[in-house]
């Protein structure tokens, strides 16, 4: 079955003070409110990685949120990598 073009996959790598500030939990709440699927996790180098799938407009909203993050975060950079929708996730989780 072909996936409509309005669906995509987005990988975000967020740098700054983004660990220990409820970034993953907040990302999970935002993604769920946008009906996205995927996950968020801390990386060993201090960044947070988010992989999400869903409607492009919802993914763009998540990327815009990630520029700021939760109140205690201090985001310095967000790298976006767009790719084709795969449909491999059920729900969104913070790992």
Active site residues: 24, 42
Q: Where are the beta strands (DSSP E) in the chain?
A: 7-17, 37-42, 48-55, 74-84, 92-94
N-to-C CA span, the chain: 30
Cα dihedral sign for 20, 70, 18, 28? positive
Q: How far apart are CA 55 and CA 57, in angstroms?
A: 6
């Amino acid at each position: 079955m072909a996936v409509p073009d309005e669906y995509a996959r987005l990988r975000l790598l967020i740098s700054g003070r983004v660990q220990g500030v409820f970034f993953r939990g907040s990302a999970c709440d935002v993604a769920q409110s946008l009906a996205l699927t995927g996950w968020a996790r801390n990386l060993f180098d201090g960044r947070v990685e988010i992989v999400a799938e869903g409607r492009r407009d919802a993914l763009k909203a998540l990327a815009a949120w990630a520029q700021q993050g939760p109140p205690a975060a201090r985001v310095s950079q967000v790298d976006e990598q767009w790719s084709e929708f795969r449909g491999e996730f059920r729900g969104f989780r913070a790992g």
